[in-house]
Structure 1
Amino acid sequence: MSTLFSALSNPDTVLALFEVAQTGLIVIDKDYQVVLANEEAGRLIGGKPNCLSNLTTCHELFFGKPAPCADCPVPDATKPWPKTKSIVIKGRDGADQFVKVSMIPWEGYTVLNLHDVTRELNLLRNVDLAKKELRAKNILLERRQQEIAGKTQFLEQLIDHLPDALVTVNETFGIQRKNAAVATILPQADGRKCHELLGSETPCLDCPAALGFDAANGQKKSHVVEGRFFTEIITASPGGGLLLFRDTTRQIQLIEQIRETRLALTRKNEILSGLVNLGAFMQKATEPQAVIEYFMEMFLPVIKADKAAVIINDIREGNLWFTFQKGLDEETLKGLSRAYLSRDVQSSRIKVYESEFFPWETGVQIDLRGASGKRVGIIVLPTSYSDEDGELTKLFTEPLGADIHNRLLMRQLEEKANTDPLTGLYNRGYLDAVLEEERKKQEEFDIPHAVVEADVNGLKKVNDKYGHEAGDAYILKVTELFKQNVRSSDVVARTGGDEFVILLVDANHASAEQFIARLTVKAFTEVFLPVGDGELFPVTVSFGVAGSDVFAHDMLLKEADRRMYAAKEAFYKTRERYR
């Protein structure tokens, strides 16, 4: 022991530094005998050895072995100093402790710096386990201890080999000595006061050492500087204190990542549960309005919205089955519905409303589509959403669109009863129903409509002269020409033997007259029906129109009928009338 202390000017200082060091320090001689160990080393190995009375070797102390370790780097002259070795020792509770041992020579002795990495290894294992569970990338926490070249004083060697920033200060917080890690860890390494190292011009308001280092001995303080986290450990020393700064940013980030990942997993589980519940509700619900209401109660919280409108198509294009709103007034919903019924939107030439139709500064239209890809309705939201929310939106809207599409198919099957068996066109009962729907649409949205009365010329003559089979062929030919020349939103109905009515939606009286003019020229010019023996019978139809912008609703059919008979009279002035 006397040889060891003779190399130092102040043995008490060395012992004090040994005891306040936050890592275990052990000094061994050339025979591996332990000649000095601090309290931290005793904590790591389960008890501080009495170096003065009980002679023990490092291999006996760590592993209970009578002989030196076969892979001990100390006698290996091929390895440069400082040397390192990782060992596993038993703690006081019998549990394994993982220790990294750094070795440096000094005056014929070897100084062992014991760094307990058990907590770090356990943290890495826990993070790795959490990352595997959450399907994320493995995060490796690597801490590298800076190696200092050259030999300096023993005190500086001990301090500089610590992985954390170590600073000694006087009672007025003036820095007396700092290790090399300060430059790599702390924001302002050239500070003259401890608080200046953290980028502050004044001492911390709640500094534990404000009443003296003796009162603050053993206390910890957390600092946050420019997004980085530091833990300061205060130890009283003669004439001031020893401050150890540890960068805990990575650890805190790992903890925060685990928390965020767990929150994300919880949210996805809630969404999955919601989708399962939505599917079950759609299967048992009989009314589509109930499905939409249930959907909105689940969907809006997911995209963090409190207002929305849902507009659902009817089986007849250009008409609405029903609408639903959450957090909107009826006038706003009516304006959105009117815009949705525009020709551009109904023809799918545009996907999103023009900005002036939105009741909000920004808005988003989400299409609801069935399994065939055809749009069956829309959802209008008051705000945009991120790509992530867009993916979540599809999870909800795709099954909803499929459900609405299936319900529309069922409505189409139900309406098969309202068709003419010969032509497949709608009958008079269905026509009356859609005329009433158009009347309500005009009252609510100011969208006009028109009717076209059509009467087949010469049908009785064909039936009498060529037979009813030829007459049916005549009716089917006229039906074919009508279907080829109307829009998908228009309705063609057969209301009598030779009488048809065409309902033109979103059309006024003038556009209806233009329609029959085009129809006469495009579809019924030079059209003939083979009636047998090479004979051809001309296919002609007399038309009459009436628009709701000119005539009252209850007068439309009467006025169109009157005009049709006037056209028929004009037709027979140039042709022989059949009896």
Structure 2
Amino acid sequence: MDPSKEDKFLESLNMHSLIDFAGCILVIIGKDKKVTFINKKGCEVLEYRKEEIIGKDWFEDFLPSEVKEKVREVFEKLIKGEAQEIKYFENPVLTRRGEKRYILWHNTPLKDERGRIKGTLSTGIDITDRKKVEEKLKEAQIRAEIIANSTRDAIVITDDDGKVTFWNKAAEKIFGYAENEVIGERIYHFIVPEKYHENVKRGFEEFKKAGKGPIVEKIIEVFSLRKDKKEVPVELSLSSVNMEGKWHVVGIARDIARRKRMEEALKKYQDRLKRLHETVDFLQRCNTEDEVYKTTINEIKKVLGFDLCFLYLMEDESLVLKAASSSSTSEEVKCLLLDRDIAEKTLKEGKSIWTKDVKEFDREAAPISFISSPIDKLGVLQVVSPEAGAFTREDVELIEILTNHLTEEIKRIRLEKKLRDMAIHDPLTGTYNRYYFNEILSREIKRSKRYKYPIGFLMIDINRFKEVNDRFSHLLGDKVLKEVASLIKRNVRDTDIVVRFGGDEFLVLLLQVERKILDKIKERIKNEIKVWGKKTHLIDFPLTLAIGVSSWYPGEKRKVEEVLKEADFKMYEDKKAG
């Protein structure tokens, strides 16, 4: 399909504004590997104008060399029909400036009206920022190590009997003993836990012989005793030096209590971030908005450890509660946040609001803390604690990471639903299209054979419709088509399938309906069109419908195609009869 036809196809479905609003990248690539369509978001990511992309080879012009072959293999699978869709495929693309942007793709084959594969349709989410978050995490770890290594060290020197000969100020600070309290005393009597005394004694006896020992010239981590009898973790480096014919031990002890706390905090943050990324993967596998809402609430409690959480979405210009944690049973907590306009304020300002104590907003309120984070302009995610000071800046950052991904997943699901609906519906009348009819017919035939029920068909044609177009314009003809489609749908069940079969022809597939009922439905539709004709001001002559009826029963030798021909034949007989 050439680019101009592709554009016309998309315009006819009124997709452009929807696709650009969704915030996802959408690319259509033909079988010749050339781009035939790309939306506004895709152009922004690649930093090219649309006309600079259309017609270019996607693989040669916009992919780094190291991934071209791998991405081509995925493309070929779709083109050959070996895969119906390929989800969660990640690869970098090259921008105009040569920068790599990482995209998470959802790829499907693109088919024409006859179901032949003409190319691929790919929707993608830019996950470069997530990559940067991971790099930032690595940098934070390096900074933590630098900070830990910059602390002041205790320097202690002992003779070969373990008696202290030097004790600096840092040692006083770390261990709590003043210099005059330790000089001349054996070191293991005051900073070594008692259970290790014998081992240290034996170590000094070995050291006295040749200035060597099992931990000399090594760096180890041990627990030392402070003067207040509390144990403190230290990083200990021991070396030997011969002074005045005697071996001495030079010990450099670094208080690593802070580093240990930082390592534990960093590990906790890494674990939470890792689990949060797993949550994002779960969200990307959701197929409905309800799944996204429930998954979000469940994962917040499991991954982040927040018991009270609420998810609100905008509906009819007001916030509606869509999901809440099972422990969120306190109406007082929910009303507290909404009554004070915190949720509305969050949405209006477009940024997170959080506090360690809600008394900052209302001095009379109970001492609770909360985080209220916007889901773009779609809604608000809130977590609450009945205790003051329950949340930190780190918690806010994690919630914001989650809401950013939550935004993308809600938009993705809404876009996919719109695209699915457009693919199977006639854009003018809202009825199903012929492609969907062909898909559903084979399935219903199998069900009919299995459960032994008949299938009825109504083939409907609008009489004198050409006259409507010729006399009153095609625009008015379109209005008549929509009115007739609406009338037909009102006179059949919701489970029946109304299809726009051709220009002014409709086909109704009715399940589990006997022939005598079909005739009644036919007459009801004809009567309804008469009533409509008397009320409408669209045309100045009575509009009628030609309707052909046929039925297919399980076990009969006729093919369904013959039954459809019968309905079509009877429709033309009805048309001739006036």
Q: TM-score, normalised by structure 1?
A: 0.31
Q: TM-score, normalised by structure 2?
A: 0.31
Give the structure with the larger helix fraction.
2
Q: Compare relative contact order (CA 8 Å, sep 6+) and give the higher one, 1 or 2.
A: 2
